[in-house]
Amino acid sequence: MPEPFVKRLFTNAREFLDALGRGLGKDGLVLRGSSLAGQSLVGQDLRLAAFEGVDFSGADLSGCNLSDASFQQCDLSTTRLGEASLYRAVFDGCRLPGADLRGAKVELTVFSECDLRQANLGVTGEFLCCTASDLTRADFSAASVSHARLDGCKLDHARLAGRVWHGLWASGGSARELDCARARFEDARFSDTNLDSATFASASFTQTVFSACSATCTDWSASRWVSVMVQQCAFKQALLRGAAMSETLFMECNFAGADLQGVTFEHCGLPHCDLAAAKELPRSLSDVNLSQANLTGRNLASHDLSNADCTQCNLAGSDLSQANLHAANLSEASLQGANLAGADLTMAWIMEADLTKADLSRANCRSADFEGARGEGAKLGGAIFKAATISGASFDRAALVSADLREVIDQGRSWSGHDFRGADLSGCDFGGCDMEGAKLAGCNLHQASFAKARLVQADLSGVKARQTEFSEAVLTGVKLAQAHFEDADFAGADLSGTDLSPARFHGVAFEGVRLAGARFAQGEFKRCSFRELVLKKIDFSGADLEQADFTQADLEGAGLKKAKLRCADFTKAKLKQADLSGALGPGTEFREANLEEANLGGAHFDACTFTQARLVKAHLERIQARNCMFDRADLTAAAFGAAHLDYSDFSYATLDLADFQNAVLRGALFHAVLEANVRLSGADTKGLRRTDMDQFKAEQFGRK
């Protein structure tokens, strides 16, 4: 068998140099803790060599073969490495300030935690990796490297100008005042990098990604961008004047103080971007994706936004007078108080947009779609709405003086599947109607009636239903996301299998409602009435049930974990084996309720009433129940371990086998209570008041 390869270790520089002179360098020598400062090793074959703590300062390693060599904690200050082969070479924790690597050949070369300040890195090759290294003022201007990776590096004042960078990846570092003028970046990525005051003037970017970068005061003037992705970057005070953008997407970027004058956008997007405080914007934003962008208060008068996607864009208070918005998509956009006087809105989509108090006087809205738009108080004098769709739109208190409403499109009256989105249906009577699959999202249903109506699979998302009647209506499978029902009447309605959790119910009466399979978890049901309903094993966990009325309701096995029960009423309710752990319910009423084997562990029930309640074998560990009334309650074998029961009243309660270990009973009242089988070990009973004999005798006498 061949003998294993073993590197020869040297700790003496002279012996090492002697070995090199005898041609042993290619055998993979190891030199540790020595000095080769100022030595000339030009052209030496040092492949597989390992250098540990060696001083190479001022040495000349030009033309050396350093393939697979490793340098650990070495000093290579001002060392010359020109034309050296650095194939798979590793530099770990080394100092290379002022080192000259011009013409060195890199491939899979690694610099980890190295000092490369003012080094000349005019290297050639591919797969260069620099990790957590200091490259301040390093010069890459003569480099030709593909797939360089610069992770966590300091590149302040470094020069990358005029070079082609294919596959460059810079992440987590600082590159302030970096000089990249006229550089070309292809398939590059900058992630979480500080590019403040850097220069990218006349640079070009192709299929490049910028993510979470800071580019304050950075110069991008006259740069070219093709298929670039930019996410969550700050371009504050940046100069982008004259840049050419093609198929480039900016997402969630901040352009406060940025100069975008003369920027051209071709098939580009700026969704979620903040442009409200930009210094200058280009005159043409045609075909640009501005969905959910912030353009609040911008002066866009006479600008070209034709075919632009402004979905959910914030244009509140902006000046769009005489602007070209032909075929623009302004769906769900905020145009509150915007000036659209004389604007061209022909064939524009303005569905469900907010035009409250907007000025559309003399605007050309021919064939535009305003379905579901809100235009309360808008100025529409002289506007042209010929062939426009306004079904479901609300223009309450809008000024329509001299407006042209000829050939306005209004949908028919087939309620099944009908689209009412955003319509004001207050006071309407749909009693007994078949409205299966109807779209009522965002409607105002104030005092409307849907008694005995069939609303199966209808979309009631975002509706406002105050004092609305749904008695005996069939509402199975309806969509209720962000819907708000206040003082509505659902008596006798069918809500089987419906998810009620996304909606808000305030003061709603659910008496007689069919709720089999309905979902209540995490929902909001303030002041709602569930009196006498059968709600066995219904999941109310996390729901807001403030002031809800469950009088005599059957909640056996129900889930009320972490529910908000402030001032709710469970008088005479059946809560056997119910889970109320972690619930929040100060002021809640449990008078005469059956809570046998229920779990109230960790709940907050201060100032609650449990008078005559049945809590046999109930779990009340760690409960917060200060100032509560447990008078005449049956607490047989109840567990109160570590509970806080300060100043609570247990008068005449049955406490046989009750466990108060480590509980806080300060100031509590045990009047007329038998304590023989009560466990109080470790309990804080300071101020615990026991039977007042005079009062007890008086009470007994009164009973006689």
Domain boundaries defined on the chain? 520-704
CB 358 within 8 A of CB 335: yes
Q: How far from 658 is each of 322, 488, 576, 608, CA to CA, in Å?
A: 80, 44, 18, 19
- 388 pLDDT tier (thresholds 50, 70, 90): confident
Would you say residue 407 has pLDDT above 70?
A: no
| Stretch 520-537: mean pLDDT | 92
Give the number of other Cβ atoms within 10 Å of residue 602's Cβ: 19
Q: Are β-strands 504-506 and 70-72 bridged in parallel, bridged antiparallel, or unpaired? A: unpaired
Burial class (CB in 10 A: 0-12, 13-18, 19+), 534: middle
Interstrand relation of 70-72 and 105-112 (parallel, antiparallel or unpaired): unpaired
Q: Which two tokens stand for residue 331?
A: 């769906």
**Least confidently predicted of 121-135, 237-251, 515-529, 554-568:** 515-529
71, two tokens: 């340098």
Q: Is the pLDDT of residue 609 over 90?
A: yes
Burial of 58 (0-12, 13-18, 19+ CB in 10 A): middle
For residue 395, which of 340, 368, 342, 356 has the smallest C-alpha distance?
Answer: 356
Beta-bridge mates of residue 245: 225, 265
| DSSP sequence for 558-620 | -B-TT-B-TT-B-TT-B-TT-B-TT-B-TT-B-TT-B-TT-B-TT-B-TT-B-TT-B-TT-B-
Give the whole-angstrom CA distance, residue 390 versus residue 419: 12
Domain 520-704 has CATH 2.160.20.80: yes
Tokens 């969704």 -> residue: 271
Note if the pTM is more than 0.95.
no
Q: What is the pLDDT of residues 190-231, one digit of tens each?
A: 999 999 999 999 999 999 999 999 999 999 999 999 999 999
At 447 the pLDDT is: 85
- Residue matched to tokens 């620099």: 130
Give the pLDDT score at 301.
94
